[in-house]
Amino acid sequence: MNECGEYKDLDIQNPVLKVLRQDRIPHIWCPGCGIGTSLNCFARALMDCGLNLDKVAVVSGIGCTGRTAGYLNLDSFHTTHGRAIPFATGLKLSNPELSVVVYSGDGDLFAIGGNHFFHAARRNMDLLVVCVNNYTYGMTGGQVAPTTPLGPTQTTMPYGNFEQSFNLPFVADACGATYVARWTAYHVRQLAKAMNEALLKKGLRFIEVLCPCPTLYSRRNKLGDGVDQMKYYKEKSVIKNGADTKEAVLTFQGEIIVGKFIDRERPTWLDSMNKHLSVALGDSFVPYGTNGGDNGQN
Amino acid sequence: MANQTDEKKGKGTVFVKSEHCKGCSYCIDFCPTGAIGFSKEFNQKGYHFPVPVQAEKCTGCDLCGLYCPDFAIFGVRYKDLEEMRLKQA
């Protein structure tokens, strides 16, 4: 690692390697893929948030982004397709002192796993959901995804996509998430800060990360390399914190509204259950997981 | 990788693990001071990796380290390096 002449005697390594499984690096993502950048931000957020990393678990589903669980040196699980949130819900409820993070892609979380997301947000399950949105199904060859905007060509849409796409922050907001933010792979500092903030909050927190897919989405639509998509994010994104999520619609190569949209307090599922059953059953009820609200800080 | 024989020395430097680089050029395009550029050599996989082309401009801000999808580069301030040296000694 140390290739810097004067400092050859020092044992220096990239600070993020502390939270990564170094034997798995280099990873399999394509050159110019933004997932690595989002993972880099997440690793920094983990190091800065002050949580006990032995009490943080990462769950991911299937897909390019699903591989993050395998690269993080935490307790992690790579679940079946779309079932990251049900697995994470079970993990959180059986061991409430864990901080559980679901790190997956748009196809996994909102296509096959869409239903699970809606209900986890409705119940306000105590999870952080990071959704890396690259507008396509990367691992399977560039099919049209529920997040593909109107217009671009995909393997299964050779004449351009005509299906209306999901507006993910709006979906999360409508389902009742307590924290909703959207950043792109270009906004690294803001993204790392948002992840840090969200790791320390309670309830279902949702962060959408827009990221380039140079191999499938960009190449098929002649948008250039990963870095060209990053430059598009730089030029066309507008930071509007607290904006109405309804307006944060993504269009093909159009303006992107980024920022922290929602930050509110709602009782989590465990809090609601304990409160309700304490009233309904009286003294015979022993509250469950009440010391789990500290987010693993002890 | 910084050329230490240079008379002009910036505030910081970058460390590059060239074999991990995939040549995406994020660090080069988004370096706030334009201190990094592509190398002339290839790494084993056939990519040009970043090298400090204007080492005296580097501030060690570590923005390249935050952008790098492959964890192949990071920046450090000389101040912190000296502190590290004192600690390790």
Contact at CB, B66 and A189, closer than 8 angstroms = yes
- Interface membership of B35 toward A (CB under 8 Å): no
Residue B4 counted as domain residue: no
Residue B77 counted as domain residue: yes
* Bond preceding residue A15 cis, omega within 30 of 0: no
Residue B35 counted as domain residue: yes
Residue B1 counted as domain residue: no
Residue B2 counted as domain residue: no
List the single residue in A with minimal CA-CA distance to B2.
Answer: A4
Residue B6 counted as domain residue: no
Residue A228 counted as domain residue: yes
Residue B3 counted as domain residue: no
**Residue A298 has what pLDDT?**
39
Question: Residue A190's Cα: distance from chain center in Å?
Answer: 14
Residue A20 counted as domain residue: no
Contact at CB, B71 and A40, closer than 8 angstroms = yes
Residue B7 counted as domain residue: no
Domain of residue A251, residue span: 25-294
List the single residue in B with minimal CA-CA distance to A40.
Answer: B66
Mean pLDDT of B44-48: 94
Q: What is the pTM of this model?
A: 0.93
* Phi then psi dihedrals of residue B69, to 5 deg: -75, -15
Residue A32 counted as domain residue: yes
- Residue appearing with tokens 């465990």: A270
Residue A55 counted as domain residue: yes
DSSP A22-85: GGG-S-SPPTT-SHHHHHHHHHHHHHHS---GGGEEEEE-SSTGGGHHHHBSSEEEE-STT-HH
- Closest alpha carbon to B79 in B53, B67, B63, B61: B61
Contact at CB, A226 and B1, closer than 8 angstroms = no
**Residue A297 has what pLDDT?**
45
Contact at CB, A26 and B20, closer than 8 angstroms = yes
Domain of residue B44, residue span: 12-88
pLDDT tens string, chain A, 298 residues long: the values are 445 556 666 778 899 999 999 999 899 999 999 999 999 999 999 999 999 999 999 999 999 999 999 999 999 999 999 999 999 999 999 999 999 999 999 999 999 999 999 999 999 999 999 999 999 999 999 999 999 999 999 999 999 999 999 999 999 999 999 999 999 999 999 999 999 999 999 999 999 999 999 999 999 999 999 999 999 999 999 999 999 999 999 999 999 999 999 999 999 999 999 999 999 999 999 999 876 444 444 3
Q: How many structural domains comprise chain A?
A: 1
- Interface membership of B53 toward A (CB under 8 Å): no
Mean pLDDT of B8-13: 83
Distance in Å, alpha carbon of A34 to nearest chain B alpha carbon = 7
Residue A18 counted as domain residue: no
CB A20 within 8 A of CB A72: yes
Q: Residue B16 maps to which CATH number? A: 3.30.70.20
Chain B residues touching A192 at Cβ < 8 A: 66
* Phi then psi dihedrals of residue A58, to 5 deg: -115, 130
Chain B residues touching A9 at Cβ < 8 A: 85
List the single residue in A with minimal CA-CA distance to B68.
Answer: A37
Cβ-Cβ contacts under 8 Å between A and B: the total is 102
- Closest alpha carbon to A169 in A252, A106, A107: A106
Q: How many structural domains comprise chain B?
A: 1
Chain A residues touching B68 at Cβ < 8 A: 36-37, 40
Q: Residue A161 maps to which CATH number? A: 3.40.50.970
Residue A13 counted as domain residue: no
ipTM rounded to 2 decimals: 0.89
